[in-house]
Amino acid sequence: MPPSRLANAILLLASILVVGIALLSQYVGGLQPCELCLYERWPYYAVIVLTALALASRAASLNRIVLGLAAAIFIGGAALGFYHTGVERHWFEGPTACTGDLAGASSIEALQRALEGRQPVQCDVPQWSFHGITLAGLDFAVSAALACFALWALGRRRAGDRR
């Protein structure tokens, strides 16, 4: 198997594994995702589709193109994971629909409007952590690692082309 196809197969399996764990934690573990958590799944969905299409094709150039796209997608996913981690740690302000307190409501009507526009799961309150590392932090690390892997595989392939 050519290196770019192997790398795409690894990215496909890793993405399926991450999405599977997220869905298991939601539907079996009872962890309800916030708005940002749901957004953080989209890069994995995109890479699953792209790598599956590339692996179905015999074109080596398509496999290399998908490696580059996967790297870019995972860089974006890592940025989103970092942003969500920052929202959880209150470094950044998060989306108004899923963060912040309701103390600023000046009347019952204002409080009711604020509650109606709010998501049931807060983006700035982690539901799970392990030694201070939240799911958003894990997503940042995994996305960054997969981006590095895709870039490494792409560079390794190019170095192999020069031999």
Would you state the pLDDT for residue 125? 81
- pLDDT tens, the chain, 163 aa long: 678 899 999 999 999 999 999 999 999 998 888 889 999 999 999 999 999 999 999 888 899 999 999 999 999 999 999 999 999 998 988 777 676 555 555 677 765 665 555 557 788 888 888 898 889 999 999 999 999 999 999 988 555 444 4
Q: Give whole-number Cα distances, 102 to 14, 96, 111, in Å.
A: 39, 11, 7
Domains of the chain (ranges, CATH numbers): 3-162 (1.20.1550.10)
d(CA 1, CA 90): 46
**Dihedral angle over CA of 100, 103, 107, 113, nearest 10:** 20
Give Cβ neighbours of residue 39 (< 8 Å, ≥ 6 apart).
80
Would you state the pLDDT for residue 149? 97
Q: Provide the b/e sequence for 29-65 (b: ≥16 CB within 10 Å).
A: eebebbbbbebbbebbebbbebbbebbeeeeeebbbe
